[in-house]
Amino acid sequence: MIDLSTLTIKKAHDEMKSGKYSAVMLASAYLKEIENKNKEINAYLEVYNDVIEQAKEADKRFENGTDTILTGIPFAIKDNILIKGRIASSASKILENYHATYDATVIKKLKDAGVVFMGRTNMDEFAMGGSTENSAFVITKNPHDISRVAGGSSGGSAAAVAMDSALASLGSDTGGSIRQPASFCGLVGLKSTYGRVSRYGVMSMGSSLDQIGPFSKTVTDTEIIYNTIKGQDINDSTTISEKTYTSKEIKNKPVVGVPRHFLGGDGIKKEVLENFNQSLEKLKKLGYEIMDITLPNIAQSLAVYYVIMPAEVSSNLSRFDSVRFGLHKDGKDGIDDYFVTRGAGFGKEARRRILLGTYVLSSGYYDAYYNRANAVRRILIEDFVKAFEKVDIIVTPTTPDTAFKIGEKTSDPVAMYLEDIFTVTANLTGMPAISIPSGNLNVEGKELPLGLQITARHGEEDLLFRVGKEFLGE
């Protein structure tokens, strides 16, 4: 019997390498968990029918000595990441039957490493949302309390790991879509430096914001996956080399910056702040110096994000024109085909963001909204760069509250958008950020996870891993 609840990548690798169990046995154990739990949790939109065949190939690699640290490791993949020959729908009706014609770069790297793909996971349609309630197909539930959301937009990828139906997973993060569900589900979730991981083969939402990253149960596992999928890619001109950023040498314990002026808002739950202060005390006991910092324009970050992101959404989703691929509906003429297809194919949130984005890019409003938002974005980056002259990392809660009830915020888009208040800054600045478990809060008899978000300078993922491992005692 394999104890999936305490399994790590290193432990699974060592045990498959030693012959304690095979990749087929490991995959079978995870398939059993999917069979027992997925009908209730809805983490997966599709479980692949060749999982055991993939695992057999992994076992051959252990036999012939070509295995890697990730060989035979069961992965769940977000439904907006292309795997050749498999459906990739972005949880949208408009791509319900679209089969990918090539592998995303991150998938190619995982295939080369020998991972086993368990299936594709549910998400908010085209990654638009913070709860996975905007999927065109099902709502993903939180394994810690099925009356609550798993987070979003990568809720399915988080739930898959949290319910022990995959050892790791991949998601995408545009404004917190990895870190927020990681916090809600008690996992580690990484948004790396913009350009460190290729976006080739990943359906674009906000091209200047999107990054692909891992979910796992430990910082060590997250580091292993990151080191496998990172790297410059000829197919993605936004990727950067290892030499782009030079890490600052830190001889002693890193200095921790806390933007306390940003933590006093009405939307932040008192118990979340108490947990955050306990995390700071833990860091102090570990020898870290805590320093209050000021980020003068951070309060503008959410507004900036919700101008830039919909503008990029409007541009990116214009490719779904009822002609080249995906859903096609017949209208009265060619133009009507376009309207009818997009009206039927896109859900409410996707349509809302397309409309917002088209508005802020329109003649007469471009300078007033989009250009101004980009100007403030540059000021935000300068604020963070200046703060990092005094400190080495910046910490906040990952989310202002625990996972909320399904349906609680669906009628109020602004309340949903406020869930991103701590996470959007890393996407706007391009800096790396990680969410790590920081404890639990008892709500209505359920232990609900909380997360601590750690942000570092561009290119300093290694520092995030170092601090995260020390905090969690790995």
User: Is-contact 110 365, C-beta < 8 A?
Assistant: no
Give the separation between CA 175 and CA 453, rounded to whole angstroms. Answer: 13
Cα-based distances in Å from 352 to 51, 180, 345, 356, 420 = 38, 22, 13, 6, 17
Site of tokens 């309060």:
299
Active site residue 37: no
Residue that the structure tokens 């790991």 belong to: 161
Q: Where are the beta strands (DSSP E) in 300-432?
A: 393-397
Distance of CA 297 to the CA centre of its chain: 25
DSSP 8-state secondary structure symbol assigned to residue 52:
H
The secondary structure element, H or E, covering residue 461 is helix 461-472
Contact between 108 and 74 (Cβ < 8 Å): no
> Token pair for residue 22?
């095979």
Closest C-alpha among 66, 157, 152 to residue 106: 157
Q: Is 59 helix (H, G, I), strand (E, B) or coil?
A: helix
Q: Active site residue: 78, 141, 217, 409, which one?
A: 78
Per DSSP, the chain holds a count of helices (H) and strands (E) of 15, 13
DSSP string, 132-200: S---SS-PPEETTEEEEE--SSSHHHHHHHHTTS-SEEEEEESSSTTHHHHHHHT-EEEEPPTTSB--T
Asked whether the beta carbons of 451 and 422 are under 8 A apart, the reply is no
386 membership: H or E segment, kind and range: helix 372-387
Most distant pair of Cα atoms in the chain: their distance: 70
Alpha helices in 96-146 (DSSP H): 105-113
List the catalytic residue out of 92, 131, 135, 153: 153
Catalytic residue among 169, 177, 192, 322: 177
Check if 177 is active-site. Answer: yes
Residues 6+ positions from 243 with CB-CB distance below 8 Å:
none
For the annotated catalytic residues, the residue numbers are 78, 153, 177
